[in-house]
Structure 1
């Protein structure tokens, strides 16, 4: 067991002997058994988020939970703090969420009505956005910005995607051309786009199914962004599915309780979402499966970039 876990568990009154590792992804998540049930003890990777960003994430989740959304609720330590520091590692605890993960890599095993699930997810995201817009964040609130600079600027949130070493010279030229055209298009559109707090990572791995309920977890990348980008994040991993048109229509229908979605803007956001993964994988290329993930990112982004450049020539 990690020394950090041994030091952190007692801060919430947990016996380290009753804490076990359940996920080692971007952050490591441990399941702690304590009074009242199970809890998720999260160890955040050093340097990824500031103290203000971590606290803001938890404050946002607390508001959403109080608003009736089924999301993890932050648990204060015995000292009353939402975040504790062990060396250079920030630690927090969330209530354990029931159910099972929807699936991996866009899969939805066991789901017979896939469009129905997408419709339900669209409504859930609309509710998240409504609650967020009605909320006044506390002083010092800080989360990343999935805005024009964060997606397409010189220093994007997930890294310079055009520098992915698996891009050929010609492919890199296509990506750079798509970036330039998308920058111009987004600059022209941006004033009329719905912008606010978004989850930004509502992929199947971050959705739990609990009976007839959907549960959103992992708000680590949540921040300020375009609401169409939220929907594009859901849809990107469904692009190669035979029922993609039905899934896209269902997600939009579910979200339409909030507002109408412009298909052209959604197509632009699909391109932007795909480009982010070209950058995200660069520092992870040496990790197990890194080469395969990079190849998949290229295979997803290139057709979208090529189509976008062709559609905006002239």
Structure 2
């Protein structure tokens, strides 16, 4: 492991915090206070300044090419400018760039940062979500996909594809690299069997080219808020070209252990299809995409073992998820009981 990987979680976070303070003047922020919000994948900080509240995201080194991040910011900016969807506005640097670069102690290469306007709202735990709120979530995704379907890609726009190769292959953003060694042979066999089921669904959907486009791809409970009877979405970092139906999988995976899962699943489907009508048989594909999302999250864990918070929990989480995926292969229903990072 590198010197940075050998640091404790708090030591790594302290170095990212120093880097965050160092980069803020590039955005024109001098007298600002920062507070850590999250450090699992990237390091995310709240920024309190005389100009208001913002969110600074410091990216893990080498995980996403800068053109991917800039394209994310361009799409997010266009959603903010051309729709009534509630999303954060990207903030440009003083030299009109969407990205800024800074160094981090004990890392041998610079890391990129983006700054976003703060989004107000109330988070709702999956277990506290009502069918009406799930219906709102579905409606939000339907409206987002309507915008995506009509979106004219700007020159140089690059985002990954979450087709079968994009979820499970070597060119996938979820490719764990050397982290693949954490998987047991039995875990690999189970994930491969689920991936085959996902491939079958994708092949069935490929007859409808209108079913594929830019998606959020990580619409989980911590990435949306409720505000003024509307939904606000944040953290578009995983946005990709993918099957629109797949965008329903992350929230459904959050809801999967709940006693009222069927009600929430029906509600999110109703909200979505009110905006984007779909054939009824597409509902039958949802559980397979939920299971596919679970496999992708296992691969994400294996690719983030340099973070002590992830590394310490990974073996038990992956073993628990193996059993959940085995149950899906037997029953067609994915019920998550394992920890979510």
Q: Does 1:297 align with 2:321?
A: yes
> Could you tell me which of 8, 31, 41 is aligned with 1:26?
41
Q: Tell me what 1:247 maps to.
A: 264
Shift of 1:234: 1.4
Contact 1:6/1:16, CA 8 A, preserved across alignment: no
Give CA deviations for 1:249-269 in whole Å, capped at 9, x if unaligned.
Answer: 000000012122512222321
CA distance in 2, matches of 1:160, 1:11: 33
- Could you give the per-residue CA deviations for residues 220-272 of structure 1, whole angstroms, max 9, x where no partner exists? 11111001111112101211211011010000000012122512222321221
- Whole-angstrom CA distance in 1 between matches of 2:224 and 2:21: 29
1:296, distance to aligned residue in structure 2 (A): 4.1
User: Which deviations, in whole Å up to 9, do the C-alpha atoms of 1:198-224 show, x marking residues without a partner?
Assistant: 100111011112242221011111111
- Give the equivalent residue in structure 1 for 2:91: 75
Q: How does 1:1-314 map to 2 (within 5 A)?
A: 2-15=17-30, 17-66=32-81, 67-87=83-103, 88-103=110-125, 106-108=126-128, 111=129, 114-159=130-175, 165=182, 167=184, 169=186, 172-192=188-208, 194-257=211-274, 258-260=276-278, 262-284=282-304, 287-307=311-331
Tell me, yes or no, if the aligned pair for 1:274 and 1:300 is still in contact at 8 Å.
no
Q: Deviations over 1:72-118 (max 9, x none)?
A: 10011122111111131111110011123323xx443xx5xx11110
State TM-score, norm by structure 2.
0.80
Q: Rate the CA distance shift 1:100–1:181 in 2: closer, same or farther, 3 A.
A: closer
Partners of 2:43 and 2:58 within 8 A in 1: yes
Over 3 Å counting, the alpha-carbon distance change for 1:296 and 1:69 in structure 2 is farther
Structure 1 position 195, deviation (Å): 0.5
Worse-matched range after superposition: 148-157 or 220-229: 148-157
CA distance in 2 between partners of 1:174 and 1:53 (Å): 31
**Structure 1 residues 6, 288: closer, same or farther in 2, change over 3 A?**
same
Any stretches of 5+ residues in structure 1 without a counterpart? 309-314
**Count of paired positions:** 302
For the 8 Å contact 2:32–2:50, the answer to whether it is kept is no
Match in the other structure for 1:312? none
2:192 & 2:59 partners in 1: Cα distance?
33
User: What is the rounded CA distance, in whole Å, between the counterparts of 2:117 and 2:31 in structure 1?
Assistant: 17
1:9 Cα deviation after fit: 1.0
TM-score, normalised to structure 1, is 0.87
- The Cα RMSD (Å) is 2.5
Q: CA deviation at 1:174?
A: 3.9
Residue 54 of structure 1 aligns to a residue whose secondary structure is: helix
Do the aligned residues in 1 keep the contact of 2:160 with 2:240 (CA within 8 Å)? yes
- Distance 1:164-1:211 versus aligned 2 partners, 3 A rule: farther
Give the Cα separation in 1 of the matches to 2:263 and 2:184: 32
Once the two structures are TM-superposed, the CA of residue 187 in structure 1 deviates from its matched residue by: 2.8
Distance 1:25 1:269, change over 3 A: same
SS at match of 2:44: strand
Q: Which moved more, 1:299-308 or 1:64-73?
A: 299-308
